Amino acid sequence: MKSRRDFLKEAATGAVVLGSQSTAGLAAMLDQHAAAGKSKVVIARDAALHGQSTKPDEHRVLQLLDRAVAAYTGRDKPVEAWKHIVAQGGGQNKVIGLKTNGLGGRGISTHLALVLAVAERLQQAGVKPGNILVWDRNARDLEACGLTINTDPSRIRCYGSDVTGFEDTTESWGIANPRLSKILTRECAMVINLPILKDHSGAGVTFALKNMYGVLQRPQELHGGGCNPGIADLNCCATIRQKIRLTIGDAMSSVYEGGPGFHPEHLWYPNALMVGEDRVAMDQVAWGMLERKRAEAGLPTLEAAGRPPRYIATAADAAHRLGTNDLKRIQLVEI
């Protein structure tokens, strides 16, 4: 088993190229809160994550990931926790996708350190490098995360939908009628969602649910009405609902105003990772985090600013049933 130093060295030299809602899924391992009818969301924080740098410390990111996953799964040993997660995707021989978000550019994209940490734990849980596929819309978005494009099946793969293309046929739910990425439909048995928390000029909040806009060919078609009901309808499409099993949300840095692009004057360091399966619950909790920061900065609420994230309530309604936005039904664990 490689040490973390060896793993990162190989990543830097090219030996490692990096640079949900299922009815069963991970819920089977969450008996305690499932019995209580609650969705579990873990927020793990490390105030020293960034130190004096704008980049988080890779070793501390791995430790933070381990704490977050342990709290979520109830398994103290990281490798055992990841073995259980891998089993939900069909086992070690199935392809696990890591869906990043690089739309905001280098200043506000999924952190490379998080991708490396997840990939390292997956390998230690028995997943072959070639069965780990890091992906997003295109090469530009992946490179914004500090990643390197690689299609070599013997190593960790990293490429976008600009390489594979999109399905010729569509999946439909409500107003969503997307042509989905072939990476999602044909290659991945399971996807771990790695969004980054941001303010959004239309939707108000972009995080767990909206990261799915990166899996379809024409996301602009679902931006009307503050992305409501577009976000909720898209997440109801069968392939997305089935394959997006776990979200590990990157809240190590964020923008609380002016998003989804990078605005350094509104950059903020929550120094946190968020783990959950219920993407609606995660977005509801994330909304609260953004509102508290906006209030601290003297900014109006998203409602007052004319862009409340109404898609969250829509995603939770009786028609969509993607999760819960009721704080009384969310088991929030903060560590």
What are the pLDDT digits (tens) for 234-291? Answer: 999 999 999 999 999 999 999 999 999 999 999 999 999 999 999 999 999 999 999 9
| Predicted pLDDT of residue 92 | 86
Rounded to two decimals, the pTM is 0.91
What is the Cα–Cα distance from 180 to 212, expressed in whole angstroms? 10
Cis peptide bond N-terminal to 229, omega within 30: yes
Residues 6+ apart with CB under 8 A from 141: 100, 101, 102, 103, 109, 160, 214
Give the pLDDT of residue 18: 56
pLDDT value for 220? 96
Q: Three-class SS of residue 330?
A: strand
Query: For position 36, what pLDDT does the model report?
Result: 56
Residue 53: predicted pLDDT: 87
**Architecture of the domain whose range is 24-334:** 3-Layer(aba) Sandwich (3.40)
Tell me which residue of 121, 171, 130, 128 sits closest to 153, measured CA to CA: 130
Taking 70 as the pLDDT cut, the residues of the chain under it are 1-36
Concatenating the DSSP letter of every residue in 206-258 gives ESTTGGGGGGBS-GGGG-HHHHTTHHHHHHHSHHHHHHEEEEEEEEEEEESSS
Q: Which residue has the tokens 């120094």?
A: 271
What pLDDT is attached to residue 52?
86
| Cα(24)–Cα(247) distance, integer angstroms | 15
What pLDDT, on the 0 to 100 scale, is given for residue 33?
41
Domain ranges of the chain: 24-334
Residue 44: CB atoms within 10 Å:
23
pLDDT number for residue 29: 42
